Structure 1
Amino acid sequence: MQENSTAVLPKTSPYSRYALALLLGVNLLNYIDRQVLYAVFPLIQQDFALSDTALGLLGSAFMITYMVSAPFFGWLGDRWSRTRLAATGLAIWSVATAAAGLAPTYRLLFAARTTVGIGEASFGTVSPGLLADFFDRERRGRILSLFYLAIPVGSALGYLLGGVVGQHWGWHAAFLIVGLPGLLLVLPVWLMREPLRNPGPVPEQNAATGRGSYRSLLRNRSFIANTLAMAAMTFALGGLAQWIPTFLYREHGLGVAAGNTLFGGLTVVTGICGTLAGGWLGDRLQRRTPKGYLLVSGWGFLLGAPAAAYAILTPSLYHCVGAMFLAEFFLFLNTGPLNTVIINVTPPAIRAMAFAVNIFFIHALGDAISPTILGRLSDLWGLRAALLSTPLAILGAALFAILCCRTIEKDMERAGQ
């Protein structure tokens, strides 16, 4: 298929900034709709009389569909209009989120959250590469850090809106309120001009079939190590994001609205500061060494792990909040750098596929399983003990980031960077 409205656009043009703002807005809704479920966990559990394991499956259902759908959309994103794929995904997940607000049973809620994963996979595989083509590679760390500000801000808004709306009007209303606004942005994304893709070096003659592209990614040691680092991080962050509001509710006696407001506020402040700092530090260090982005991420993991462990173990709410602030700040340092590494070590012609493979594995090994695993561990040993698995995963992420430093320079050269 031929791309629609493909254009050669000057880097950092007013239209490039418009594209950044629009895609950032969509990504913001992406994470609001994704995280609102966790804000109303206690309410859903009471309504349907669920175990922690069944509750965790709601989070895993989204992630499993998200990761399974990603390779298909990655293949399609390298061959068709990325803007139309992004717009279609936005429409699907917005309708599915609103439908969750109308679900009268656990099974229908499960089905709605499963469908949300399909829509978000379409957007998630094509949007980073699409955005990268609007800007020069020297600014990618900062640009992607701005784009991924949606993670802390959207997550925080999901917790805040879900907690407040859920406590006053019920969890059904929370899904309806956050799901419907996305439909307003479907048309602007559909009509957005797409920058001309630099075809870059094609790894093999049969790359058009996809087989050569996948094989080249599996031989790319930096891509593999970086993906494993992101998978370990995603395991930890997925478990913490899903269970910390419930942890504050059970272990520290905070109400649904108060717990989600506290956690949401922490997330938005630390997320903005950590994500912007990570992008700025990564770009500065990258000018000195090809390992710059990885050094920022690795040190963030090493500093964040003990802070997360203390936040879980301390019986004091004040100490818990302080340690959680430090843990989130250091973990958010990696958001822009690790995603920029994917772009830097893969040729532009297979970038959507690279993000699709990355999405599949970081969720297959990460937050597709961590919510249910933590739920099962919580049923066996209690929630506090279950959450202690997350600092160990963070240390694993640091190890893979360090391993990636050994191969990053050669793989960047092969990718034509």
Structure 2
Amino acid sequence: MAIDPTPLPESAPSWFTPKRLLVFFCAINMINYIDRGAISTNGVNGSPRTCSEINVCSDGSGIQGDFDLSNFKDGILASAFMVGLLIASPIFASLAKSINPFRLIGVGLSVWTLATIGCGFSVDFWSITICRMLVGVGEASYIGLAAPLIVENAPVSQRTLWLGIFHISVPAGVAIGDVYGGLVGSGLGWRYAFFGEAILMLPFAILGYVMKPLQMKGMSNAKIIPWFLNEEFSKKDYSYVSYTLNQLSRFGQDMKALLSEKVYVVNVLGYIVYNFVFGVYSYWGLKVGYNIYQVDNIDLLFGGIISVGGIVGTIGGSLILDRINSTIPNAFKLLSIAIFFGAIFCFSAFCFSNIYVFLVLILIGEILVDASQGPVNLVCLNSVKPSLRPLAMAISTVSIHIFGDVPSPPLFGILQDKVDNWRTSILISTSILFLAAGIWFIGIFLHSVDRYEEDSEQPDMSHLLESEVANGDITSALL
């Protein structure tokens, strides 16, 4: 049976207004990072089994104690999600050109929900590691689509701010996860922390299946999906084989075009180095703080610092870039300056033994380094043409994880095992932030072209969203 290539009819307007769209993506991203924060807490991650010189052994606690994990294996749990993210991100980004993005998100979040439930029922290191891999599929389903949709529907003068608000969900989610994991893990047990996360994500997975479609700039209106094949599939233009080959060919062409953008590549390189350090901070920060300063409520203190620093830094950096004109060179200037001085404050914080001096300096450092979130993602979006934006965000996300915060936790574990000094290990890791500042400084001098309005010949269906905020104020009601 030949496949009918007739495009699907245009959908009715979506229920999503621009502000509801922003809230939707902020919520699912926050739950994702609540999970990241919770798994690193003492209440969920716990402590390893130990034995004294007279062979008196403790059972340990949490995941690390129950499964008797070394620091290296424990660090792998922080990175295992990357497997699912690496495989699924390019697939979701490519399929978004021909399939309703909300259906893709619904599928991904369903996998995420089931995977977190699986974490709660895991019985050993391998079972929980596989479930953590599947969690990455959920992030892959929305991470390449969220930023392009948000930017296309944000008020022109507030694009960086809206991106910043979306990325507030990262530090806010980790901070809430620190508190959530500490309370639920210590009170009910680490398994219940994962069950609670699944309950939080389930409504958004369902919403992904029932929402009306949205079309992104630069994407085709035709949604040609092969459903049936016959014995003559090799002769038909719309067979499974030809469709798959066409998708692979288009992906290869898109990747070639993406990697030819020097501004994009330099921006991602700086982001990789930045995330290498914060992979250490997000996973080992609580244990480093506890072992250096011996503070019992370190979960709450770090949660507060991450939350305040993330919100103030992300909003501040985004507002500054919008105010000085959100061009690519200005974004690189802000990135290099903020990270350089942020690195100084973070490094200095761990040099002091006084807990109060440490808290003040690390808070200032967090504010400065978190100022990067809006600008770095704006560069990713504006340095490529609109049809490449989902793939650009997907590859950026995959890169910063696979080369940044995925290898850094286990490598820090190895470093700490060798050095056996928490302060020395964290100072070595923090110093890498200066390299990120240097890479983004190079970006200032690259020839850059803002490609936001390219592909204007493509059908633009942004009218599916209400235009009520074309020149609106972000401080008004979100719903």
Q: Does 1:214 align with 2:251?
A: no
User: Which AA in structure 2 matches 1:227?
Assistant: V
For residue 323 of structure 2, the aligned residue among 255, 268, 284 is 284
Distance 1:318 1:324, change over 3 A: same
Distance 2:424 2:338 in 1: 24
Deviates more, 1:313-322 or 1:337-346: 313-322
- Residue equivalent to 1:315: 353
Secondary structure of the residue that 1:149 maps to in structure 2?
Answer: helix
Q: Is the 8 A contact 1:308 1:324 kept in 2?
A: yes
Deviates more, 1:81-90 or 1:60-69: 60-69
Q: Does 1:231 align with 2:272?
A: yes
- Residue equivalent to 1:135: 154
Distance 2:89 2:428 in 1: 27
| Aligned pairs (5 A) from 1:283-362 | 283-286=322-325, 290-362=328-400
User: Which AA in structure 2 matches 1:363?
Assistant: H
Distance 1:7 1:347 in 2: 27
Distance 1:63 1:254, change over 3 A: farther
- Residue equivalent to 2:137: 118
Distance 1:369 1:415, change over 3 A: farther
Distance 1:4 1:136 in 2: 29
| Aligned pairs (5 A) from 1:166-177 | 166-177=185-196
Distance 1:397 1:408, change over 3 A: farther
- Residue equivalent to 1:52: 71
- Residue equivalent to 1:180: 199
Secondary structure of the residue that 1:210 maps to in structure 2?
Answer: helix
Q: Is the 8 A contact 1:142 1:283 kept in 2?
A: yes
| Superimposed CA distance per residue, residues 306-332 of structure 1 (whole angstroms, 9 cap, x where no aligned partner) | 111122232222222112111111111
Distance 1:241 1:5 in 2: 44
Q: Is the 8 A contact 1:144 1:339 kept in 2?
A: yes
Distance 2:373 2:256 in 1: 26
Q: Does 1:267 align with 2:306?
A: yes
Distance 2:266 2:11 in 1: 34
Question: Among the aligned pairs, what percent are the same residue?
Answer: 26
Deviates more, 1:397-406 or 1:224-233: 397-406
- Residue equivalent to 1:35: 37
State the aligned residue count.
Answer: 408
Deviates more, 1:109-118 or 1:40-49: 40-49
| Superimposed CA distance per residue, residues 230-249 of structure 1 (whole angstroms, 9 cap, x where no aligned partner) | 10111011111100111122
Distance 1:413 1:100 in 2: 41
- Residue equivalent to 2:239: none
For residue 290 of structure 2, the aligned residue among 228, 245, 249 is 249
Q: Is the 8 A contact 1:66 1:118 kept in 2?
A: yes
Per-residue deviation, 1:390: 2.7
| Superimposed CA distance per residue, residues 242-276 of structure 1 (whole angstroms, 9 cap, x where no aligned partner) | 00111122222233xx1111111111111111111
Per-residue deviation, 1:14: 7.5
- Residue equivalent to 2:233: none
| Superimposed CA distance per residue, residues 194-220 of structure 1 (whole angstroms, 9 cap, x where no aligned partner) | 44322289xxx9997122211111110
Per-residue deviation, 1:118: 1.5
Q: Is the 8 A contact 1:245 1:263 kept in 2?
A: yes
- Residue equivalent to 1:157: 176
User: Which AA in structure 2 matches 1:216?
Assistant: A
- Residue equivalent to 2:223: none
User: Which AA in structure 2 matches 1:151?
Assistant: V
Distance 1:154 1:365, change over 3 A: same
Secondary structure of the residue that 1:41 maps to in structure 2?
Answer: coil
Distance 1:3 1:298, change over 3 A: farther
Q: Does 1:17 align with 2:19?
A: yes
Distance 2:300 2:416 in 1: 23
Q: Is the 8 A contact 1:53 1:379 kept in 2?
A: no
For residue 81 of structure 2, the aligned residue among 56, 62, 73 is 62
Q: Is the 8 A contact 1:378 1:384 kept in 2?
A: no
Distance 1:328 1:6 in 2: 44
| Superimposed CA distance per residue, residues 70-121 of structure 1 (whole angstroms, 9 cap, x where no aligned partner) | 2222222233221111222222112211221121222211111111112111
Per-residue deviation, 1:137: 4.4
User: Which AA in structure 1 matches 2:133?
Assistant: T
Distance 2:153 2:76 in 1: 38
- Residue equivalent to 1:388: 427
Per-residue deviation, 1:415: 5.1
Secondary structure of the residue that 2:405 maps to in structure 1?
Answer: coil
Secondary structure of the residue that 1:365 maps to in structure 2?
Answer: helix
| Superimposed CA distance per residue, residues 353-397 of structure 1 (whole angstroms, 9 cap, x where no aligned partner) | 111211221112101100110011011112322222332321111
Distance 1:200 1:5, change over 3 A: closer
Q: Is the 8 A contact 1:304 1:330 kept in 2?
A: yes
5+ unaligned residues in a row in structure 1: which ranges? none
Per residue, is there more helix in 1 or in 2?
1
Distance 2:430 2:270 in 1: 13
Q: Max radius of gyration: which structure?
A: 2
Per-residue deviation, 1:136: 4.4
Deviates more, 1:73-82 or 1:157-166: 73-82
Q: Is the 8 A contact 2:119 2:131 kept in 1?
A: yes
Distance 1:385 1:183, change over 3 A: same
Q: Does 1:192 align with 2:233?
A: no
Deviates more, 1:184-193 or 1:155-164: 184-193
Per-residue deviation, 1:3: 7.4
Q: Does 1:240 align with 2:306?
A: no
Q: Does 1:364 align with 2:405?
A: no
Distance 1:161 1:242, change over 3 A: same
Distance 1:170 1:149, change over 3 A: same
TM-score of the pair, normalised by structure 2: 0.79
